[in-house]
Structure 1
Amino acid sequence: MRKVGVVTEGESEVKGLPMLYPQLETRLGVQMLRPVRAAVDPLAPVAVLARGARTGIQMAFARGAHLVVFLLDREMSQTAASDRALEIERRLRGDIDDRIRVVVKDRSFENWLIASPEAFRAQRARYPKSERIESAAVPDKADRVADPCRLINSAMTKGQYDKTGDAPKILNAANVESIAANSRSFRRFLAVLGDPLFSSGSNRPAKC
Structure 2
Amino acid sequence: MKVAIITEGESEYRSLPHLYKQISAHTGYDFVPTLKVNIPPFIPLPQLARACASRIKIAQASGADVIIFVFDREQDQMCPGALAGEREKAFRKYFGDQLDVRFVYKNRMFENWLIADVDALKVQTSRFNVSSAVVRAVSPNKADSCDALEILKRMAVKKPYDKVLDAERICRRMDVLKAAKNSRSFRHFLHVLKHETYAMQCKKVG
Interval containing the TM-score (normalised by the shorter chain): over 0.9
Deviation string, structure 1 residues 113-153 (Cα, Å, up to 9, x no partner): 000111111100111235443221111111111x3111111
- Contact kept, 8 Å, 1:132 with 1:155, in 2: the verdict is no
The alpha-carbon deviation at position 163 of structure 1 amounts to 1.2
Greater relative CO, 1 or 2 (CA 8 Å, sep 6+): 2
In structure 1, the gaps of 5 or more residues are none
Look up the match of 1:179.
179
- Letter matched to residue 46 of structure 2: A
| Count of residues in Structure 1 that have an aligned counterpart in Structure 2 | 204
CA-based RMSD: 1.4
SS across alignment from 1:163: coil
Q: In 1, distance between residues paired with 2:166 and 2:21? A: 19
- Letter matched to residue 81 of structure 1: P
* 1:12 has 2:11 as partner: yes
Look up the match of 1:140.
141
Look up the match of 1:123.
124
SS across alignment from 1:65: coil
> TM-score normalised to the size of structure 2?
0.93
Q: In 2, distance between residues paired with 1:131 and 1:94? A: 48
- Contact kept, 8 Å, 2:23 with 2:195, in 1: the verdict is no
- Contact kept, 8 Å, 2:121 with 2:170, in 1: the verdict is yes
- Letter matched to residue 107 of structure 2: D
* 1:170 has 2:139 as partner: no
> TM-score normalised to the size of structure 1?
0.92
Look up the match of 2:203.
203
- Contact kept, 8 Å, 1:5 with 1:33, in 2: the verdict is yes
Q: In 1, distance between residues paired with 2:191 and 2:75? A: 24
Structure 1 residues 94-103 or 2-11, which shifts more? 94-103
Look up the match of 2:101.
100
